[in-house]
Amino acid sequence: MDHKLLLAGEWIETGDWAEVNSPYDGSPIGRVAQGDSELVDRAVKAGHQVFSEGGLPQYERAAILDRAADLVSERLDDLAKTISEEAGKPIKTATGEATRTIGTLKFAATEARKLTGGTVPMEASEAGMGKLAVMLRVPYGVVGAISPFNDPLNLVAHKLGPAIAAGNAVVLKPAGQTPISALKLAQILIDAGLPNGWLSVIPGGGKEVGNAIVEHDLTRAITFTGSVPVGWGIAGKVPHKKVNLELGSNAPLIVNHDGDWQTAADKARIHAFSHAGQSCISVQRILVHEDIADQFIERLVTNIEGLVVGDPAGENTDVGPLITRATATG
């Protein structure tokens, strides 16, 4: 199936297609239209234009996000299947991600209704006696967003939901391995009533599309989730912009002898191997007190031996493939 890209509310073909293949068996899932720097320029300018024309009122943003959450619920099975197919995530884990997306959008809707300014206590200074200062929260304008492959629906919602809630237009580059989930979420936001111009989804390479988003004069804020070198490289390129980074980690689990080490061993089975460990919050190191190390290791190994590895479409599968063959062999 062919998937067009979204340019300011219009679904378009570009003539340049990239195949999305299953990480499990390499079978084709679909083709996705690819963008370039020229399309990024058009997308950013379209977002800037609609923002400059007056923006979306808070109640409308909240209503759109609430409706989008309801539509995710209605399309949950299809979204979970898409996540599983293109990311190789086991279907039960993919269903959990799609379900979390509902909450992400609802939280964003709630925040849209809560956004307020404030007053500044001018009388804290003698010169401020008899004066009143008001603080207003205002949107940036156009937010550039770059999302990763490992949570291709919920992490996209983490970027789009809050940005829209705050009154910003968004230009998103989804991960090249998993763009279809992002495009389906974009369709949901359009179906929920998001007007043209407020969202563009431009798949493509990081060097052209990603850099064009980051460096465009009219993107005022950048949100990126991905590797540490790329993230800090983005921050270094645009020190004058607001840059939010969610980067990789080397997360330890510390297990002491006087704690509930049995539960820790059981939980480590889940958190070390969920999505084959392809998560910045997965358990990547375990430091265990020597007094319980042997018992802990025995329990953990028994737990791991019970994991079902295989086809992510299988309802009992716990661990699917890594995202690419190069990742698995590198």
Residue 39 domain boundaries: 2-113+137-247
Whether 90 and 148 map to the same domain: the answer is yes
Whether 210 and 256 map to the same domain: the answer is no
Domain end position, chosen among 247, 281, 297: 247
CATH number for the domain harbouring residue 98: 3.40.605.10
Whether 13 and 81 map to the same domain: the answer is yes
Residue 325 pLDDT: 80
User: And the tokens for 244?
Assistant: 């939010």
Q: Is 123 a catalytic residue?
A: no
Whether 212 and 265 map to the same domain: the answer is no
What percentage of the chain reaches a pLDDT higher than 90? 82
Domain end position, chosen among 247, 273, 299: 247
Kindly name the residue from 13, 246, 298, 315 that is annotated as catalytic: 246
**Inside any domain, residue 130:** no
Whether 157 and 141 map to the same domain: the answer is yes
| pLDDT, tens digit, 9 for 90 and up, residues 14-38 | 999 999 999 999 999 999 999 999 9
Q: Residue 222: beta bridge partners? A: 144, 243
Which residue, among 161, 196, 238, has the nearest Cα to 49 in the 3D structure? 196
Whether 49 and 29 map to the same domain: the answer is yes
Residue 274 pLDDT: 83
The more confidently predicted of residues 250 and 155 is: 155
Whether 279 and 308 map to the same domain: the answer is yes
- Alpha-carbon span 233 to 137, nearest angstrom: 29
Q: Is the dihedral angle over the CA atoms 4, 151, 173, 193 positive or is it negative?
A: positive
Q: Is the pLDDT of residue 194 over 80?
A: yes
- How many structural domains does the chain have? 2
User: And the tokens for 254?
Assistant: 């510390």
Whether 241 and 278 map to the same domain: the answer is no
Q: Is 38 a catalytic residue?
A: no
Whether 149 and 59 map to the same domain: the answer is yes
Kindly name the residue from 126, 280, 290, 298 that is annotated as catalytic: 280
Which residue, among 304, 329, 330, has the nearest Cα to 319 in the 3D structure? 304
- Alpha-carbon span 222 to 3, nearest angstrom: 25
Between 57-61, 120-124, 178-182, 223-227, the lowest mean confidence (pLDDT) is in 120-124
Count the neighbouring beta carbons within 10 Å of the beta carbon of residue 211: 17
**Inside any domain, residue 207:** yes
| pLDDT, tens digit, 9 for 90 and up, residues 105-152 | 999 999 999 988 888 889 888 888 989 899 988 999 999 999 999 999
Whether 209 and 307 map to the same domain: the answer is no
**Inside any domain, residue 143:** yes
Q: Is the pLDDT of residue 231 over 90?
A: yes
The chain-wide mean pLDDT, for the chain, equals 94
Q: How far is CA 211 from CA 102, 173, 214, 283, 293, in A?
A: 30, 10, 5, 32, 47
Q: How confident is the model at residue 40 (pLDDT cuts 50, 70, 90)?
A: very high
Whether 196 and 218 map to the same domain: the answer is yes
Q: Is the dihedral angle over the CA atoms 63, 65, 66, 72 positive or is it negative?
A: positive
